[in-house]
Structure formats: structure tokens, C-alpha cells
Amino acid sequence: MNKLLIALGLAATVALVGCAKEKAPETGATTGEHLENAAAQAAHDAKDATHEAATATATAVDNAAQATENAAHNVATATENAADATVQAAKDATAATAGAVEQGAANVKEKAQQ
């Protein structure tokens, strides 16, 4: 039984070694050329990634600037509205005070005439 297992193991080994001896397709390039091509591709990929990051950063800065401008405009509008409301409240208070003074004077005059 051991001899059969050894024979099967040897047959499997020979089959695997035979399969492993298939030649890879020849590109005609040396190892150095492959390395140079890989380095050039890596440099190109890094350049693309840097450009994409710069574009994304510029877009984010533009969006932040626009949001800041919108917020400043909203604050200015709210401040203007608050100032208008304050002026109107002051006018209303002055009119109410003047009305009360006139009514008080009219009451005094009426009592004086009686």
C-alpha cells in the first residue's frame, strides 16, 4: 500500500512539474524594461491622483467660499430687518406715548372745564 501511495505521489509530482514548465508568453522586454515601464505607470498614476486631489480641493474651497458669502449675506439681511423692526417699534412707541399724553391732556382740560 505504501508503494502505491509513493507511486501516486511521484506521478502527481511529475504531472505538476510538467504543467509548471509551460512558458509564459514572451513580450520581448527585459526585466529592466519591465521595471522601467512599471515605474513610468506608477508615476503616471501618481500624477493622475494628485490632479484629482487638487481638483477636489479646489472644488471644496469654492464651495466653502460660496457658503461663507451666503452666510454673510443672510446675516446682513437679518441685521437690516432687525434694524427696520427696531425703527418701526420706536415709531409705534412714540405714537402711543404721544397719544397717551394727548388723551391725558384732554382729560385734564375736560375736568378743568367742569
The region, left, alpha or beta by phi > 0 then psi within -120 to 50, assigned to residue 22 is beta
CA quadruple 31, 34, 35, 40: dihedral, nearest 10: 160
Percent of the chain with pLDDT over 90: 30
pLDDT in tens, the chain (114 residues): 666 667 666 666 655 555 544 555 566 667 778 888 888 899 899 999 999 999 999 999 999 999 999 999 999 999 988 888 898 988 888 988 988 888 888 888 777 777
* Residues, the chain: 114
Stated pTM of the model: 0.45
User: Containing H/E element for 90?
Assistant: helix 31-113
At residue 63, the pLDDT reads 93
